[in-house]
Amino acid sequence: MKTINNAHNFHALHTLLLILLGLLAILYSSDAQAKAIAFPAECTACHGPEPRYQLKGAKEQYLNSGHYLGFAKKGTHAWYSNGGGCQKCHTHEGFLEFTQLGKIESDYIEWPSQPGCFTCHNPHENGDFELRTTKPVTLVSGVQVDLGKGTFCANCHQARTAPENVVKPTLAMKVSSHFGPHHGPQANLFVGNGAYEFPGKVYKNSGHRIEAKDSCIDCHMALPKGRYRSTPALGGHSFFLSDRHENGDVSLLTAPCESCHAGIKQLKGTRFFNVPAGDDYDGDGTIEAAQVEVEGLIARLVNAEGNGLLQKGPQALFTATGDWNVIQDLELERSTAEMAALFNYKFFVEDRSMGAHNLIYTVQVLMDTISILDPEFDTSTRPE
Ligand code: HEC
Ligand code: HEC
Ligand code: HEC
Ligand code: HEC
Ligand code: HEC
Ligand code: HEC
């Protein structure tokens, strides 16, 4: 009985072994099969182990960009700026609609997403990273601009309101706190088109228009040099020239400027570059860095002390603390001068470069704006 039993056990064990071997063989053969699968060659330029294009580095930077994070740094602007035409610039899907149809027809995007890789590139159809469109861009004034590769940025970074349509006497109650060019008039300032220009005055553009061939991209996408770059949040696909730390410190990227402005540095303790201004534009008695002069000019309109030209009196556009002044008076009318000043104030604040995009135009327009409200203002330093 015992022997039989043993033999029986032996057979059972043998069968089990065979099954196990069979299983192993199956496993092994599927492993061999996996090894035999060729990763499609047409994908390896981007997804292979030795990619030609550096997607991962670009992605690290993109995750630190305004396009991904948005101004509120919450990664939600595609959702709250979706509809009423906003989707053209704030959603991936809306921008594609715009590039395909030349306009926005959708009321809103059902499942919006933040502008990302496929908004600007079309790698799965093109096999490379060429930009989705290279067509010249028409600004709201009707003027067509070609800014090299930066033309692409101008599709979205442009004003949505032309001053000639809105700068006119207006009932104060009808002027909204959202009045202005909205929100990224960088392409307009870059070419000197889109602020309210005063009749009889001549306006010019700085050297950047001619010297920086690919405009926006030459400055905003340059990469810092060197082994340690400290952060993915500067240059490249972050598009940022400054990294603003939580403690208030700011690091600036000077690399893109160095080829033209030898020795350029961050002005200590500020978020500005040390490129000097040609003159004392803001009239404070000293010739400072160009962006500091512009800051001084803007402060003549609205400032922290509460004595800016747009803050004076109970009927002013802004309160002493710089907030929008809500007007109850049914009769009060804003003059053309006030509306022009408001438009231009918003234009240069929302551009955010403090004159760096186009210093001459910035200074000329701001000086004209200030002098229309304050005839005492000394305009002898206005660059001609
Ligand atoms: C020229 C570059 C390029 C090539 C070639 C390329 N891809 Fe991609 N692919 C990308 C980029 C860029 C992304 C987005 C990466 C990211 O968001 O991190 C991506 C993402 C993907 C994704 C994820 C999609 C998603 O929605 O998240 C898949 C899947 C993919 N690729 C498959 C492929 C396949 C399959 C091929 C070859 C037939 C291929 N790709 C070829 C650039 C490329
Ligand atoms: C599809 C439209 C679109 C295109 C194209 C585009 N941008 Fe933007 N960009 C935006 C929007 C929208 C924001 C702001 C998002 C928010 O804050 O809600 C933004 C934010 C930014 C910011 C951050 C601004 C800030 O105040 O934080 C920079 C810098 C920037 N873009 C530069 C560029 C450059 C340079 C290009 C061209 C290479 C470009 N963008 C192309 C729509 C676009
Ligand atoms: C022509 C493109 C375009 C359209 C259309 C557009 N935006 Fe923007 N918007 C931008 C750009 C570019 C920025 C970033 C500007 C910057 O940071 O310098 C921006 C910034 C913003 C911001 C953050 C700015 C701030 O100061 O807080 C908000 C909020 C916003 N947009 C809402 C909207 C809404 C709502 C609409 C529709 C009514 C809209 N946008 C339509 C291009 C556009
Ligand atoms: C707001 C637009 C924008 C977004 C979003 C964007 N890119 Fe780009 N990308 C550009 C521009 C502009 C260039 C420079 C194009 C040039 O010089 O021809 C560029 C260049 C590149 C290049 C270099 C191509 C080359 O020829 O060497 C790669 C790689 C790249 N992008 C990958 C990505 C990836 C991956 C993402 C998403 C994580 C992404 N981009 C998102 C605008 C964008
Ligand atoms: C000559 C270099 C240069 C060129 C060209 C240039 N910019 Fe700028 N831009 C700057 C500087 C400097 C600032 C201020 C940076 C800062 O304070 O972070 C700035 C600020 C900005 C900001 C606000 C960013 C922020 O972090 O607040 C946006 C958006 C922007 N530029 C978009 C553009 C667009 C779009 C173009 C092309 C039409 C362009 N820039 C061309 C130098 C340049
Ligand atoms: C391709 C060359 C080039 C690059 C790159 C460049 N600039 Fe300029 N920049 C110029 C020229 C040319 C002028 C005009 C000088 C003049 O009119 O005296 C100028 C003028 C300026 C001015 C006004 C100074 C004045 O008094 O007119 C500022 C500010 C400025 N640049 C800042 C920057 C910053 C910041 C960067 C980098 C983010 C930069 N520039 C990149 C060529 C360049």
Pocket test for ligand 3, best of 82, 155, 183, 240 (most atoms within 8 A of CB): 183
Which residue in 265, 234, 273 sits closest to 357, CA to CA? 273
| C-alpha to C-alpha distance for 349 and 205, rounded to whole angstroms | 18
Residue-wise pLDDT for 209-230, tens only, equals: 989 999 999 999 999 888 878 8
Q: What single letter denotes the amino acid at residue 195?
A: A
Question: pLDDT-based confidence at 21, cuts 50/70/90?
Answer: very low
Q: Is 63 a pocket residue for ligand 1 (Cβ < 6 Å)?
A: no
Cβ atoms of 364 and 382 within 8 Å: the answer is yes
Output the pLDDT for position 290.
98
Q: What is the mean pLDDT of the chain?
A: 91
Average pLDDT rounded to a whole number, residues 260-279? 96
Position with higher pLDDT, 183 vs 36? 183
Q: How far, in Å, is the centroid of ligand 6 from the Cα of 219?
A: 10
Q: How far, in Å, is the centroid of ligand 3 from the Cα of 144?
A: 21
DSSP secondary structure string for all residues of 131-146: BS----EE-TTS-EE-
Tokens for 10, please give them: 């032996």
Tokens for 51, please give them: 């990619």
Question: pLDDT-based confidence at 34, cuts 50/70/90?
Answer: low
Average pLDDT rounded to a whole number, residues 169-174? 96
Q: Is the pLDDT of residue 19 over 60?
A: no
Buried b (16+ CB within 10 A) or exposed e, 127-143: eeeeebbeeebebbbee
Tell me the CA end-to-end span of the chain in Å, nearest whole number.
Answer: 116
Q: How far, in Å, is the centroid of ligand 2 from the Cα of 215?
A: 14
Residue-wise pLDDT for 321-368, tens only, equals: 999 999 989 899 999 999 999 999 999 999 999 999 999 999 999 999
Q: Is the pLDDT of residue 17 over 70?
A: no
Q: Is the pLDDT of residue 128 over 60?
A: yes
DSSP-derived letter for residue 39 is: P
Average pLDDT rounded to a whole number, residues 82-110? 96
Q: Is the pLDDT of residue 12 over 60?
A: no
Output the pLDDT for position 38.
80
| C-alpha to C-alpha distance for 156 and 133, rounded to whole angstroms | 12
Q: Which ligand is nearest to the CA of 40?
A: 1
Q: Is 184 a pocket residue for ligand 3 (Cβ < 6 Å)?
A: yes
Q: Are strands 242-244 and 170-171 parallel, antiparallel or unpaired?
A: unpaired
| C-alpha to C-alpha distance for 130 and 128, rounded to whole angstroms | 6
Question: pLDDT-based confidence at 86, cuts 50/70/90?
Answer: very high
Q: Max Cα separation, the chain? A: 122
Average pLDDT rounded to a whole number, residues 13-37? 54
| C-alpha to C-alpha distance for 327 and 323, rounded to whole angstroms | 12
Cβ atoms of 343 and 167 within 8 Å: the answer is yes
Ligand 4 atom 20: residue of nearest CA: 129
Which residue in 245, 248, 240, 207 sits closest to 224, CA to CA? 240
Which residue in 224, 266, 236, 263 sits closest to 249, CA to CA? 266
| C-alpha to C-alpha distance for 349 and 43, rounded to whole angstroms | 44
Pocket test for ligand 2, best of 77, 132, 156, 160 (most atoms within 8 A of CB): 156
Average pLDDT rounded to a whole number, residues 232-259? 94
DSSP secondary structure string for all residues of 307-333: -STTS-STTSSB-TTS-B-----SS-E
Q: Is the pLDDT of residue 171 over 50?
A: yes
Tokens for 248, please give them: 């208030």
Residue-wise pLDDT for 135-167, tens only, equals: 999 999 999 999 999 999 999 999 999 999 999
- The answer, as to whether pTM is greater than 0.85, is yes
Which residue in 363, 379, 205 sits closest to 293, CA to CA? 363
Pocket test for ligand 5, best of 214, 216, 264 (most atoms within 8 A of CB): 216
In 10 A of CB 294, how many CB atoms? 25
Alpha helices in the chain (DSSP H): 2-36, 44-47, 55-62, 66-69, 77-80, 87-90, 92-101, 117-120, 123-126, 151-154, 163-166, 186-191, 208-211, 216-220, 290-299, 336-351, 359-373
Pocket test for ligand 5, best of 352, 358, 359 (most atoms within 8 A of CB): 352
Q: Is the pLDDT of residue 3 over 60?
A: no
| C-alpha to C-alpha distance for 365 and 348, rounded to whole angstroms | 10
Ligand 3 atom 36: residue of nearest CA: 86
Tokens for 136, please give them: 């010249």
Q: How far, in Å, is the centroid of ligand 1 from the Cα of 129?
A: 11
316-323 long-range CB contacts below 8 Å, 24 or more apart?
A: 317/175, 317/342
Position with higher pLDDT, 153 vs 2? 153
Q: Which ligand is nearest to the CA of 54?
A: 4
Q: How far, in Å, is the centroid of ligand 2 from the Cα of 30?
A: 48
Position with higher pLDDT, 39 vs 240? 240
Helix-, strand-, coil-residue percentages of the chain, each rounded to 5: 40, 5, 55
Q: How far, in Å, is the centroid of ligand 2 from the Cα of 239?
A: 8
